[in-house]
Amino acid sequence: MIVNSVNFLIFFLVVFFVYYFPLKGHAKAQNIWLLLASYFFYGFAEWKMIPLLFAATVIFYGLGLAIGSNAGTKPKRSSYLTTLGVVLGLGLLLYFKYLNFFIQSFSSFFNAVGLKTHWSVFHILLPIGISFFTFKLISYVIEVHRKNMEPCRNFVDFATYIAFFPTILSGPIDRPKPFLAQLSKARGFDEDLATIGLKRILWGMFMKTCVADRLSIYGDAVFGHALHHNGVSLGFATLLYPIQMYADFAGYSEMAIGVGCLLGIKITENFKRPFFSQNIAEYWRKWHISLTGWLTDYVFMPLNVKFRDMEKWGSIFAIIITFILIGMWHGAAWTFALFGLYHGLLYIPLMLSGTFFKKKKVKKTESGLPPFNAVLKMIGTFLLVSFGLILFRSASLAEAGMVVKKIATEPGPLFFDYQTLINGLLCMLILFFKDFWDEYRSEKQLFSKGIINRYRYELTLAGYALLILFFGVLDGNQFIYFKF
């Protein structure tokens, strides 16, 4: 049951009605209902993994209480328990997501050097959303250990935080303290928050069905048969893929945030118009913000402190390790590891020049537009991101190498699927126009006078709905990040 499906609409209407009518004003009852709904939602996707999710929740709930009770009087025991929690969380990921990868990699290495092995991989079912809920579990025990929050003593609240149905499959990765604080009090229907939520749901649906799913038809046709396409077509598909990924993943995040708003719960932001970034550091501050922030706080910063004697090179090593982990978080393959390494290496010029920690706001021209040199930097950053995503999109290193070689050496006519691509490109322009307006003209209304301004919210919703009906691919395509 995915967010852009009729099944989800029916499910959510039931959740919404019970949540606000019989249970209005009763925080505990609302949380129990959310927990039941979340487990039903997760079970609808993968019921065999419900016991794993529940067992992990129980264990980390107990660890949080134990860490909190020992933090003041027995700090060493608290540290050991926190380490245990981190190891258990990483152990879940290593077993379910990476065990077979390491078996195959070591077996291939030993066979290559003449040491024959007969290792076989295990039949392991990858739990959907494991990369997201394990990071929630790990961040919880770390935050309790750091005394940034008190341990949650209400099991229902904690279990709801871990399994919250809008975010369990593809994020965003909420931090425990602000999320749990919202569950401590009853939620009444907030009309202002609900109007924002409805608008974000429809915009996310537009991004997914009209942009991502349209562009994916072209991308799948080209990358799925890369051997039979020339470098021009592969290059064009490479430039479209970052936009497809953005519309797909940010579209899901918009819908998840919108659903949260309708339930009176604010979910962390996950994207902030990343293609208006002037360098790779700025790009990652705007792309998958919840993951980047998580790894910055729990991986990069501790490593940066550990390597501080090495000065700038210590920070470089810390950032490279962090980005290799970001790459591997996305999947158990060497393509993802090299994807992370590639992005880590792009940070080296920023680190050496001292611009990594500088966050300068783009100065606008008198017309409210970014200056020409800033636009050139944005284009350059987009091209670097697009090139790196060849690794992300390819099934193997050999396939990635073939795509790069073809782009560099095989000119030819552009493969252009008019029926699907024209609509996709039109919707892509609408997406970029909205992002541009939000980035540079957000203080101004597009229509400041007259009846259009008076009914701009209603007209916006109607416009999104019409775009989805006319241009959307309404066949319930899964989201790219479900597999991570």
Q: Could you give the residue numbers annotated as active site?
A: 330
User: Measured in Å, how far apart are the chain's first and last C-alpha atoms?
Assistant: 17
Q: Residue type for 271, please?
A: F
Count of CA atoms in the C-beta half-sphere (13 A) of 31: 20
What are the structure tokens assigned to 86, written together?
Answer: 């981190």
Cβ neighbors of 275 (< 8 A, separation 6 or more) are 242, 243, 246, 378, 382, 432, 435
What are the structure tokens assigned to 163, written together?
Answer: 């399994």
Q: Are 385 and 281 in contact (CB under 8 A)?
A: no
Using the 8-state DSSP alphabet, how is residue 212 labeled? I
Going 84 to 87 to 90 to 96, the CA torsion angle's sign is: negative
Q: Taking Cα atoms as reference points, which of 236, 70, 265, 234 lies closest to residue 167?
A: 265
Q: Is 5 helix (H, G, I), strand (E, B) or coil?
A: coil
CB atoms near residue 49 (< 10 Å): 18
Strand ranges inside 93-146, DSSP E: none
Q: Are 207 and 179 in contact (CB under 8 A)?
A: no
**CA–CA separation, 250 and 162 (whole Å):** 21
